[in-house]
Amino acid sequence: MIKFGTDGWRAIIGFEFSQDNIVKVAKAHAKALKKHGLNKVIVGYDHRFLGERFAILVANVMKTEGIEADVAKEAVSTPNISFAVKYMGYNQGVMITASHNPYYYNGYKIKESFGGAATPEFINEVEDEIKNIKDVDFKEHNIKRVDIISQYIEKTTSNISKNILLEKELNIVHDSMYGPAFKYYLEAFKDKN
């Protein structure tokens, strides 16, 4: 049974988190989007096993259902998807991640137009749609890959006064725990002069 919990649906890869279930969730999500007149989604993924493949699979199902779906050019953090939805013209976002769960899990998070987790009302609509889906036919499409990291870093660092940071010698330690944000700090703090 596919059931969304706090900020998404998460399950063990190869068991409940399977291609069959992912395409059902994506189709149900597409149907709920269409009910609200929404038609543009960004899909992201992290470094978990098959994350990129799952993201492309979601985009193919969405496109087959008439939803414009782009995929992040590379692994991204969940806040990147929230940023893309809020500032880059997408109606909603999907993040393929299991967040803090063990490595053998993956998940499907929905981000609404305000950038945050989908409301319980919208999640209920998706879950209701899932119950009615038996099989999913989809085609492979030409999926547009989008760089959402550089705009995210630019917007984020525009809120920081680098001069204050440069007044003293600082040692910055960051452990992204193998998450995609490991390179954001390198980019954000490199000297652009």
* Residue-by-residue pLDDT tens, the chain, 193 positions: 899 987 899 999 999 999 999 999 999 999 999 999 999 999 999 999 999 999 999 999 999 999 999 999 999 999 999 999 999 999 999 999 998 899 999 999 999 999 999 999 999 999 999 999 988 999 999 999 999 998 988 888 888 777 777 787 777 777 776 777 777 766 776 764 4
Which pLDDT belongs to residue 76?
95
Which pLDDT belongs to residue 193?
45
Question: Whole-model pTM?
Answer: 0.90
Which pLDDT belongs to residue 121?
96
- CATH 3.40.120.10 in the chain, residues? 9-147
Which pLDDT belongs to residue 191?
61
DSSP state of 36: T
In angstroms, the Cα distances linking 168 to 33, 68, 171, 192 are: 49, 47, 10, 18
Pick the CATH number of 9-147 from 1.10.1040.10, 1.10.150.80, 3.40.120.10, 3.40.50.300: 3.40.120.10
Q: Would you please indicate which residues are annotated as catalytic (active-site) residues?
A: 99
- 3-state SS class at 43: strand
Contact assessment for residue 25 and residue 130, using Cβ atoms and an 8 Å cutoff: yes
Altogether, the residues listed in the chain come to a count of 193
In angstroms, the Cα distances linking 169 to 157, 163, 166, 172 are: 19, 12, 7, 10
